[in-house]
Structure 1
Amino acid sequence: MDQIIRPLLKENRLHGDTMLPLGVYENQYMPGGKGFDCHWHEETEFLLVLEGEVLFQVDTEYFTVKAGEAVFIDGGDIHAALDVLGDTPCRMTAIVFDAGWLESGSFDAVQKDYISPLLERKKTFPRRILPASGWEKGLLIHLHTIIHAYHKKQPGFEIRIKALLMLMLGELSGEEGRACDRSEALHSDATRVDRLKTVIVYMHNHYHRAIRLRELADQIPMSEGQFNRFFKSMTRSTPIEYLNAYRIRKAGEYLSASDKKISAIAMDVGFDNLSYFIKVFRQTMRCTPSEFRKKHGLRPEQSG
């Protein structure tokens, strides 16, 4: 599925399958635009930037990631690619996997000293992995090798990928100071993230109808002005901008999967004015709903 119509926020998709709980996904985002919106999943993720530069968010941290660098995301962390920087597209590859897949069959030294601390966020990878030191360069090489092995799928690729992830844990534990302890995040930050999750989940459950700002603010609760400032500080967009962007992406799913009238789809995703829906759709997707449907292989809506 095209990257601009992927499901957002709490992902319920299965990455890989029960035999290989790992998926690799490639995406490209245009300069001057946004990457992907705030979301989270229970799985662990490495995100490798292959080209371009992007402003990234993980929970309450914001930082720039460039080509040749990677981001590590612990399971459950909210993350987003907020803005594509510079004049070139940003191309990135995500490796998403269930870290429990690495667990030992018994409580051995590997489980005690490496796997359990990773799962408990006591000895985990740095947020940004830069080619600034030998061990970090080693991690980046391993990520490229994992991506190559996943796409080639030659016999034995599963054990090769698992072995590479274990080697990365070995690199992390090679010297004192490499691993990060995020088991006790600042309480204030954890509270802010939980509040953000609460209100965006509410948006995703009720996007199909009119939602007032007061209704959203009551979910936390905050005053409307306080809530508006809080939401923008966390996502770099207003609540209405975020809600409309989510509605448009849901509309993209419907347009690509059915021949339902565009006016009906606009109503289904919470727009009661067709002209406004088309205006917001064009701003978000850089094309009209009809052009989007045509691009995705379905016939344009028939008039009459």
Structure 2
Amino acid sequence: MDQSIRLSLKERQMHGDESFPFGAYWYDFAPGAHVVDTHWHKECEIFTVLDGEVLFQIDTEYISLKAGDSLFIDGGDIHTGHAKGSQGCRFCALVFDAGMLTSANYDLIQDQLVLPFQERKATLPRLISPEYHGELSAHISEMISLSTTRPPGYEAAIKGHLFLMLSKAAAGGLLCNRSRTDSADMSRTERLKKVIAYIQTHYPQPIRLSELADLIPMSEGQFSRFFKSMTGQTPVDYMNSYRVRQAVELLRQPEYKISDIAMDVGFGHISYFVRVFRKFMNCTPSEFRKKL
């Protein structure tokens, strides 16, 4: 699967639909690649490594995952990750709106299980490993399998597995309270969100480093260090990566000229666009289009 699948977790994407807000996505990345560019979304996510290793960052926390491990990401958490080791990685991401667990009437389950989960007062463990959380891992494996085969009624089964995960975690004393965040970390996270939102809104136009630094505000040097520490990428690399991902979608539409696409996503020169595109996608824009 080519690297443009990263768009599957783009912040504005609807996962599933309003009647069943659940989406499953499979990824395959080369060694050292950014498997997930820095982003966030309101939905929860269960990220499961199928092969290889991934180093993940959630807000200011670093977590290493190996094959079989799963990571639970609460809605609103900024997260990013890249492949570790020499073999690359393959993984599946299950993304869902916690609202799919709510009841039509406010019942005991809503009060004692679902609402605390939505408020992050009683949420799932961050790292879920088969060695220590066998039953939780088994439910995740079943949801991945159901998402692959989609038998009749699989939606009900997936919803049931999510309820059973909360039930098992509650019974085992594994539910976590992540409703409170250290004020310093929260401030850093909110400032980063502000910068990323600005980039995603203004990427078609030239963006100066000073513009981004002024949003926080910081000096350009302080800002560059802050951004790299929070995302693992320099501000320029992040902007270029985001622009390339937008270009990938336009390249799927043959009526657009490559030179026009370069300008539309914020690259002032076609030669620079080609060079940056090759860096992130391991091919030129024209080669990518031919593969389609």
Same fold (TM over 0.5): yes
Give the drift of 1:9.
Answer: 7.6
Structure 2 CA distance, aligned partners of 1:241 and 1:17?
A: 32
Structure-to-structure mapping, 1:111-260, within 5 angstroms? 111-133=110-132, 136-176=133-173, 178-260=174-256
Tell me if the contact between 1:9 and 1:37 (Cα under 8 Å) persists in the aligned partners: no
Counterpart residue number, 1:39: 39
**Is 2:77 the partner of 1:97?**
no
- Max Rg structure: 1
Structure 1 stretches of 4+ with a deviation exceeding 3 A read 5-10
Tell me if the contact between 2:2 and 2:28 (Cα under 8 Å) persists in the aligned partners: no
Give the drift of 1:65.
Answer: 0.8
Structure 2 CA distance, aligned partners of 1:90 and 1:79?
A: 17
Tell me if the contact between 1:28 and 1:91 (Cα under 8 Å) persists in the aligned partners: yes
Structure 1 CA distance, aligned partners of 2:212 and 2:12?
A: 23
Tell me the percent identity.
51
Give the drift of 1:4.
Answer: 2.1
When residues 143 and 252 of structure 1 are mapped into structure 2, their CA distance, relative to the original with a 3 A threshold, is same
Structure 2 CA distance, aligned partners of 1:154 and 1:266?
A: 42
Deviates more, 1:164-173 or 1:255-264: 255-264
Structure 1 CA distance, aligned partners of 2:157 and 2:270?
A: 52
The code of the aligned residue for 1:251 comes to: A
Unaligned runs of 5+ in 2: none
**Is 2:18 the partner of 1:18?**
yes
The code of the aligned residue for 1:109 comes to: L
Unaligned runs of 5+ in 1: 297-304
Give the drift of 1:261.
Answer: 2.2
Aligned residues, how many? Answer: 292
In the superposition, the TM-score normalised over structure 1's length comes to 0.91
Q: Secondary structure at the match of 1:45?
A: strand
The code of the aligned residue for 1:119 comes to: Q
Give the drift of 1:6.
Answer: 4.0
Structure 2 CA distance, aligned partners of 1:12 and 1:2?
A: 21
Structure 1 CA distance, aligned partners of 2:5 and 2:128?
A: 28
Tell me if the contact between 2:6 and 2:35 (Cα under 8 Å) persists in the aligned partners: no
